[in-house]
Structure 1
């Protein structure tokens, strides 16, 4: 008979995962089918030896089979291991149906197992041997296999890298054992068996437990490479918090977007392990013990650009008709479930979506993680560790961007992740003086290949800060994102280039993450982590880091040679930081002549373009405003040049992202003693949109209905049409796309949702509104569900 193909196995397993979302009856049928046809995530090695005759086993201690002789103490163990929130550990679903709970534990910690025999356990005559395995080659390496004899007397002694166990107490035919999981074992799904041996008997009996259990990373354990403890809010925020914020907007006004990470929801842990396993085979599965490798794999499989058939399909075109707009996602579970149901990458994601899903996968397996937003995020395409912008002169002599030469870009913002771990792989190269443990940057958004695949990191933040761009992984790329200088080059008629300007403070601003504690929308402030990624701009340490990076770049450019002449005229581009959709905006350019001599300004040009947040401007301008007359600039006097951008000008031309790029150009004429000076200033801005107001009770009774009222006022002078509303959140079944009545111009929208849940706990719900004219509004509310 031909062997079952990997594709068939995957299809069967996907079918099994699908059944997780359709109720316990269907699930039970699929579980039985899976047991008959398909190995587990990590198939067991079974030695099918002939069973001994019953006469040969007289007197041998036997594990009781009916009822099951092994109790995994799921409720007690999961509470001690901080895993009791996982859906698979529950014995009841949201509507009260009975479930079969599974054990989830963390490495570097003990858990209890009760074993019941056919007679009392005799310490003097009986021995008990435990064996744990994961993977098809589970007995080949210590990371995937453990075997030990139960310690029956004395104080338990455990080594951090070895399995062990001891007898806690005995009650009749039942014993309570404590099993230690090594802090260095592979994460994933493990099987185990118990073998009994009795003195005076030649035979032994092996009892293989029918249900596997899960082992995860343990950030509470000092021997685990993911140990974070209470550092910066530690486990409570970066492992257990299942809701949070990702930041968008601009450096001047970061805007939080609610996100449901949902790492404990139904099927998410199983899905997380499945997608990670795509990148491992029988010979490499031992590397699931290494969080460095696992984090790198997660950043690879969240996107679908390689052959691993990852979770999300990226799209920055603005056309999402055959999928879902990235702005319409407010959480990871809906994305992951859709992926598991279809077996195909979900359309579509952009950076904050990739980051949100990455946070979910990381926290699900016990890897501390947070979503991080870098404003003014550079994309260095030629590995120079500089962001190079090229300009040509128009007929008036004013510099304008050379669209044929500009490949590097600066995104309005870019969202990636930090994960927390030690870096013994770097210490092995650098020695004990290594200081690269702690937060590491990873990025699942596909931008550039890293060692042949679309992934990025993990890279120590300390290496990024110091410009040590040769450190693994991808330090040069991430350094450029947060700290590269923007170099301006003029393309001469003969095709050669000369350096005309350098901007050292444009890249890497207001690097933001959700602060520890309650969500920012409920009072917890944004945490600015810029100082962890880079030295303060203008300091000596900052310049040393930039020059160190430039020297270590794969393809450095001669951007730092020569002294150059200091500019006489200081320009500043200014506008309001927080501009809401439908409001006019005043823009001004100020000029101050810092020299002792008069200078002459030859006109000012303002340009405003629609812009994708990833740095690409539309070819069609929203507004071009020219001030053509010359202005004499006397020393130390400030001059202002203004224009007003009206809402009627930008509303028809911006997309659902509400991003614009504001540019100002000016030319200071050459004098006998001073060279010509060019002004090139630009800012990115995201227009604000109304936040939904949510009124709902602070507490509710389990299984009883309560009402959430959603309201907002239409800020536009147009009626809102094709309106829909919905909500999603942990503990509640998502409701999406419910049709709503049109909202009049300047009118009020109101919608009442009736909700209930069978689960107890603290829950965050995100409510959504969408229309043809006003896209993707949201707001959140919290409720504590009590018994």
Structure 2
């Protein structure tokens, strides 16, 4: 890098006597390899704190004379600066201050190599670098460029240190992850391209810090506090949503997505970060929980903080802090909108991030994984963010530990109170202590298999549903039921989805009724199925049935029901969930018992085949064959097959057919070419006018290798 003379102070002597700097080589490639930052930026030198990096100084007329001239480096961060005298190796060592050393063999005729090292707890930021050559009578200063300093999970003294390299490879360096979605009965996995090696992503992450309210309010204080990953995680968490700042994403969970991108259409973070940066920090539309979390994971990995995306199945949103979530059902088993003032709810899945860091503010017992949730649900200390909350604090039930532990604890361990209501009165009640937090998943290290984190969050005895939920069938039954008269229940009801159906198959429901009473009963069964989104109450009821039953003392009735595809294909979209509920009523005593289950249907698959396998060379053209076969019993009108892939394809590539008959296929062939290394995603989607909301999506991972 050519040097610009910044200032000059001449006290005595002549220019001929003075050593002058001609050029500084930032040794970018070698430093990037050494600091595990290769590919993060094509514009800046990127290094990690606490580890020396090399600078080679080339002089103009003569070599630097260490006996008569002092060589001083200076780093600037905003209005803060620190002078760093250059010493020969062994003369000094202070891990708490910046150091600049010349190793043996690094002095040459007209150049010298200096190893510059920051303290292990330096601030994450873009620094300016100056070089001063000073004598007793003269000083010359040169602005030689800038560098980005990141956290260093390889370094023991860093607050984000991870002991195993395989963990760092997965939680810092890997640019592809998996997001688990759906329901605990049918867990779907969606790949996500974190994209930290895409051009401009690091610069967008740094910009995010620069426009945060903390930085705009007090730049110097913000720069100083950026040494702490606890502080960084709270700043970034708040900046990923745009609710009260210049943040990245605007959330929307219902209604029209016009003027933006439907959340289900995102497959990577780079596109979102690029759009935000190019729009002068206008929020990108639209995000939902897995989008917020995945983008946060990208930013944290770029900053050097180990992070992973975590999914909680049946996550509670407890707004009043009583660790109880109420759900309302009608006497016919229809799940209703809330009739109380409480905004409590349960999401079939909710996605947040765990970040790895020490917690010196709490003590070593709370080090390790911390929940950081950027989805704007509730305010924390006045801003829309959540965490960092130690996972171990949740497991131990230490609800007073900062930050937001009680809220996160409720997300995984609240009780569900299900009320049967008639004319505003409660006529039946169940309490389910197992529904919330049934499964907590993240991607395994070096594998696409899920890692079950339920035991890390739940107290012993609260994670018993984890194993059962692996099977594609589940049984729910009434718990702690009290009849209106306060009599202990002697009627038991359970509901079972016999197997999770694929699109085009019957939904098979089994209701089991057990009469514990000593007398014969006359019962009425009300069973219905409703459409719902993962984060909201059910909407329309698309199927229902009722009948009268007679049951003898001690008898067990098994009732089988089948919902044919014709009853749900026109209303059920690919990401939708079904709520099935049964209410059994005793005609004489008016006792009512409720059982319920929620599940999602397995969507048909789109086939994506890449010529020559799943690894490609940069700047070489490859062919991709994409196809979809109609497995439904009916023809699909106006079918559109769309293929896209950030970093592989420009824009969207589509093919259409007026009518796709059962068993027939629609195909599209495209050519891809990658301009940068890393992991990219091809995404294919199939939509049709027979059911405009029913979009099928598939993803395919492509590894791009350097030539």
TM-score (norm: length of structure 2): 0.88
Asked if 1 retains the 8 angstrom alpha-carbon contact of 2:100 and 2:117, the reply is yes
Matched residue, 2:53:
111
Residues 720 and 771 of structure 1 are in contact (CA less than 8 Å); yes or no, is this contact kept in structure 2?
A: no
User: Deviations 1:392-433 (Å, cap 9, x if unpaired)?
Assistant: 768xxx897574126321111111111111111222xxxxxx
In structure 1, the partner of 2:306 is 368
User: 2:588, 2:67 → 1: CA distance?
Assistant: 100
| Distance apart, 1:724 and its partner CA | 4.1
Listed as ranges, the gaps of 5+ residues in structure 1 are: 1-45, 90-100, 140-145, 428-433, 543-558
1:634: how far off?
3.1
Task: Call closer, same or farther: CA 1:129–1:455 in 2, change over 3 Å.
Answer: same
| 1:570-609 to 2 correspondences below 5 Å | 570-593=492-515, 595=516, 597-598=518-519, 600=521, 602-609=523-530
Residue equivalent to 1:507: 436
Distance 1:736 1:245 in 2: 23
1:449 aligns with 2:379: yes
CA shift digits 1:78-136 (9 cap, x unpaired):
001110022x23xxxxxxxxxxx42001112111111112322223323211111212x
Q: Is the 8 A contact 1:662 1:683 kept in 2?
A: yes
Once the 2 structures are TM-superposed, how far is the Cα of residue 453 of structure 1 from its aligned partner? 1.5
The aligned counterpart of 2:321 is 383
Secondary structure of 1:362 counterpart: helix
TM alignment of 1:116-265, pairs within 5 A: 116-118=58-60, 119-135=62-78, 137-139=79-81, 146-154=82-90, 157-159=93-95, 161-168=96-103, 169-198=106-135, 201-209=136-144, 211-230=145-164, 233-265=166-198
| Other-structure match for 2:358 | 422
Deviations 1:603-655 (A, max 9, x none): 2211211111103211x31112112x2432532x5321232212111122234
Three-state SS of the structure 2 residue aligned to 1:337 is: helix
| 1:264-663 pair list within 5 angstroms | 264-279=197-212, 280=215, 281-285=218-222, 286-306=224-244, 308-343=245-280, 344-390=282-328, 401=336, 403-405=338-340, 407-427=343-363, 434-488=364-418, 500-518=429-447, 520=448, 525-538=449-462, 567-593=489-515, 595=516, 597-598=518-519, 600=521, 602-618=523-539, 620-627=540-547, 629-635=548-554, 637-663=555-581
SS at 2:638 equivalent: coil
Q: Secondary structure at the match of 1:681?
A: strand
Deviation at 1:743, TM superposition (A): 5.9
Equivalent pair of 1:604/1:641 in contact (CA under 8 Å): no
- SS of the residue corresponding to residue 502 of structure 1 reads strand
- 1:365 and 1:389, CA in 2 relative to 1: closer, same or farther beyond 3 A? same
Q: How far did 1:154 drift? A: 2.3
Deviations 1:186-205 (A, max 9, x none): 1010011111123xx32121
Provide closer, same or farther for how the CA distance between residues 72 and 647 of structure 1 changes in structure 2, counting only shifts above 3 A: same
- 1:143 alignment partner in structure 2: none
CA distance, structure 1, for counterparts of residue 668 and residue 463 of structure 2: 53
SS at match of 2:87: coil
CA contact (8 A) 1:601 1:633 kept: no
Aligned mates of 1:54, 1:694 — CA distance in 2: 74
Cα pair 2:325 2:415 within 8 Å, conserved: yes
Instruction: Kindly provide the CA deviation profile for residues 484-530 of structure 1, in whole angstroms up to 9, marking residues without a partner as x.
Output: 1112457798x897994321001012211111114x2xxxx111111
The structural deviation recorded for 1:681 is 2.1
CA distance in 1, matches of 2:94, 2:659: 66
Q: Shift in Å at residue 682 of structure 1?
A: 2.0
Cα 1:115–1:598 change in 2 (3 A) is farther
TM-score, normalised by the number of residues in structure 1: 0.79
Q: Is the 8 A contact 2:628 2:667 kept in 1?
A: yes
Question: Which residue is 1:689 aligned to?
Answer: 603
Deviations 1:231-267 (CA, angstroms, capped at 9, x unpaired): 7x41101111111111111101210011111011011
Q: 1:180 to 1:567 in 2, by over 3 A?
A: farther
More strand by share: 2
2:11 pairs with 1:62: no
Residue 556 of structure 1 is matched in structure 2 by none
Structure 2 counterpart SS, 1:129: strand
Structure 1 residue 277, shift from structure 2 partner: 2.2
Shift of 1:483: 0.7
Q: Do the aligned residues in 2 keep the contact of 1:60 with 1:197 (CA within 8 Å)?
A: no
In the alignment, structure 2 segments of 5+ residues that lack a partner are: 467-480
Q: Matched residues in 2 for 1:47 and 1:607: separation?
A: 78
How far apart, in 2, do the equivalents of 1:740 and 1:392 lie?
44
* Residue pair 1:694, 1:781 contacting (<8 A) in 2 also: no
What does the per-residue CA deviation read over 1:284-321, in whole Å, with 9 as the maximum and x for residues that have no partner? 22111111111112221111111x12111111114212
1:668 CA displacement = 4.8
SS at match of 2:401: coil
Question: How many corresponding residue pairs?
Answer: 668
Change (3 A) 1:610 1:400: closer
> 1: distance between equivalents of 2:667 and 2:12?
73
Say what the alpha-carbon RMSD is for the aligned residues: 2.9
1:82 and 2:15 matched: no
Whether contact under 8 Å (1:575, 1:588) holds in the other structure is: yes
Q: Structure 2: how far apart are the matches of 1:162 and 1:416? A: 36
- CA distance in structure 2 between the aligned counterparts of 1:659 and 1:534, rounded to whole angstroms: 26
**Of 611, 622, 626, the match for 1:710:** 626
